[in-house]
Amino acid sequence: MREATDTANDPRRWGRGRVLRAIRQAGAIARVDIARQTGISAATVTALTAELLSEGLIERIHPEDRAPDAGRRGRPREALRLRGEARLVAGVKVSHRVITVLLVDFTGAEIGLHEAPRAEIASAPAVLADAIVAATTAACARHGRRLEDVSGICVGLAGQVDGARGHVHWSSALDRRNVDLAPALAARAPCPVFLENDANLVAKAEQLFGRGRGVDNFLVVTVQHGIGMGVILGGELHRGARGCSGELGHSKVVSDGALCQCGQRGCLEAYAGGYGLRMRAAEAGLKDMSVEDLRQAEAAGDPVAIEVLSEARQHFARVLANLVTVFDPELIVLAVEAEEGHPLCTPEVLEQVRQLSLSVDAPPTEIDVQFRDDRMWAEGATAYGIERVEALAVERRPLGQSA
């Protein structure tokens, strides 16, 4: 899998991309405002929007369909918006026991959700590729679409994923290391397939639709079974030289410490991830405890739960403080898979982060806790899928062409 061609050396593609992004960000916008926001001449904006209209990517909003602009005199201007029906995108999240598929239109509006059970935690590459395409096909059928209607499929996996190459260095969803999964998926799907680390996808969702909208430098830390991180620097997703940037859960907090599912010892996940908390509690005598069970046991005064969670909070707070010191981000979003509270994301932990972070005479990094259900992973996949499908539309590449 390769990234879409860089548009910087093609002024027309560059302009098409700028215009589409301006329309997406505004929701509905007049041509004169597109020209003002992008710096593109009004005549060029008119020509580019005529192209996009003829291709069915955008549509007109007649003045009578819009709310009047406050304080503006005269006839309301015709506005443009994305045409939702232009593209169908599937976002897929592979979890331990389920594959979740979310279908959205070109604007990001939800069409429908489907969940398909997995028979095993770690699958052979061909088996997993078959299951992903089968789940996407079933999602389409459930919501009155066909797989052939899908313009792009974006798959999120936990683990060390080089999204630019479609290569998985390691993932708990696979039974082996170093797998070129994107080609296996592309051979089974009638449309481009994009592969990415699941935490990176949540970061893209925050950038396009959430708290990171309009923020150039921010981090998203995901907290669930494991702990991941997506990094947005200068408005771009930072993957690193090998595509493994952001593996926060595998930063070392204890020398030769607890065994992590990645095979190494002392990782943050082994102490503060969902499986790490359960493992530490079981070793101390509290077996078959969920994270919520541990939180309730701590509230009831259980000494084992108190010790396990106290240790986890200390490691988590120190690592977050190091992120603030190293990256100096405007914002850190803690995206937590929980319906309400989580024992790692308490006011006391956030205060400890502030105390441990490098202090300067400027406003501190904002830390925003977002409690989400398990849909957040599939939503992240659709966000990145929309971005990649939009890039293909900008290039006018055939949708059947491999990404």
Question: Mean pLDDT across the chain, nearest whole number?
Answer: 90
The per-residue pLDDT for 403 is 45
When mean pLDDT is compared across 240-244, 248-252, 272-276, the lowest value belongs to: 240-244
CATH homologous superfamily of 213-371 equals ATPase, nucleotide binding domain (3.30.420.40)
At 377-391, the pLDDT tens digits run 898 899 999 999 999
The residue-averaged pLDDT of 295-311 equals 95
The end-to-end CA distance of the chain, in Å, is 5
Quote the CA–CA distance of 324 and 315 in Å, as a whole number.
Answer: 15
At 93-143, the pLDDT tens digits run 998 889 999 999 999 999 999 999 998 989 999 999 999 999 999 999 999
Band the pLDDT of 298: cuts 50, 70, 90.
very high
Q: Which amino acid is at 174?
A: L
Rg (CA), the chain: 23
The per-residue pLDDT for 86 is 96
Q: Does residue 73 surpass a pLDDT of 60? A: no
The per-residue pLDDT for 3 is 42
Q: Among 1.10.260.40, 3.40.50.300, 1.10.10.10, 3.40.50.2300, name the CATH number for the domain at 11-82.
A: 1.10.10.10
Burial 81-109, CB ≥16 within 10 A → b, else e: bbbeebbbbbbbbbbeeebbbbbbbbbbe
Q: What is the DSSP string of 88-119?
A: EEEEEEE-SSEEEEEEEETT--EEEEEEEE-S
Q: Does residue 268 surpass a pLDDT of 80? A: yes
Domain boundaries of the chain, sorted by first residue: 11-82, 87-202+377-395, 213-371
Region 87-202+377-395: CATH code: 3.30.420.40
The per-residue pLDDT for 68 is 55
Q: Between 25 and 353, where is the model more confident?
A: 353
Tokens 């959430």 -> residue: 210
Measured CA distances, 299 to 23, 204, 293, 316, 338 (Å): 49, 36, 10, 20, 17
Q: What pTM was estimated for this model as a whole?
A: 0.81
Fold: same for 11-82 and 213-371: no
